[in-house]
C-alpha cells in the first residue's frame, strides 16, 4: 500500500537536516514507501543521491574495472589535480556528446555534427 508523502523527506528524517546525500548502497533494502519518498525527493531536487559503484556502472553501461581505473587515474598526483589535461578534455567532450544526443536525438546530433564538419 502506498503511503502519502510527508512534507518532510525521508532523508531529512534519517539525517537530521536533509543535507547529506543518501548512499545508493542498500537502497533496495529500504521499504517500498521509503523508496517512493526518496524517488520523489530525488526527482524534485530535494535529495542528492550517491549511487554505489555498481549502480553507477549500470547507469552509464561501463565496466567496474574501467570506472575504478578512471577514478584511480584522477586521484593519482601528477601535478595538475590528478587528471591529465587530455583526460579531462576527453571526459568533457563525452559529456557534451551525451547532452547533444539527449537534446537532439542521435540523428539530430549527427546531422548537426556533419554541418559543423563541412
What is this structure's pTM? Answer: 0.44
- Rounded to whole angstroms, the Cα distance separating 25 from 49 reads 10
C-alpha cell at 112: 548537426
Across the chain, the runs of DSSP E, i.e. the strands, are 22-23, 49-50
Note down pLDDT in tens along the chain; length 118 residues. Answer: 444 444 444 444 444 445 577 777 777 888 999 989 988 988 898 888 888 888 888 989 999 999 999 998 888 776 555 455 566 666 777 777 777 777 878 887 777 777 776 6
Residue owning grid cell 593519482: 76
What is the number of residues in the chain?
118
Helix-, strand-, coil-residue percentages of the chain, each rounded to 5: 65, 5, 35
- Rounded to whole angstroms, the Cα distance separating 64 from 42 reads 24
Q: What is the pLDDT of residue 62?
A: 92
Q: What is the pLDDT of residue 88?
A: 66
Amino acid at each position: 500500500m502506498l503511503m502519502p508523502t510527508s512534507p518532510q523527506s525521508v532523508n531529512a528524517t534519517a539525517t537530521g537536516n536533509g543535507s547529506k546525500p543518501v548512499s545508493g548502497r542498500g537502497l533496495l533494502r529500504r521499504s517500498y514507501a521509503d523508496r517512493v519518498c526518496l524517488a520523489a525527493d530525488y526527482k524534485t531536487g530535494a535529495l542528492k543521491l550517491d549511487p554505489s559503484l555498481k549502480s553507477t556502472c549500470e547507469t552509464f553501461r561501463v565496466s567496474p574495472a574501467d570506472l575504478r581505473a578512471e577514478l584511480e587515474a584522477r586521484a593519482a598526483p601528477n601535478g595538475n589535480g590528478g587528471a591529465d589535461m587530455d583526460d579531462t578534455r576527453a571526459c568533457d567532450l563525452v559529456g557534451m556528446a551525451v547532452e547533444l544526443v539527449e537534446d537532439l536525438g542521435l540523428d539530430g546530433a549527427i546531422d548537426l555534427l556533419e554541418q559543423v564538419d563541412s
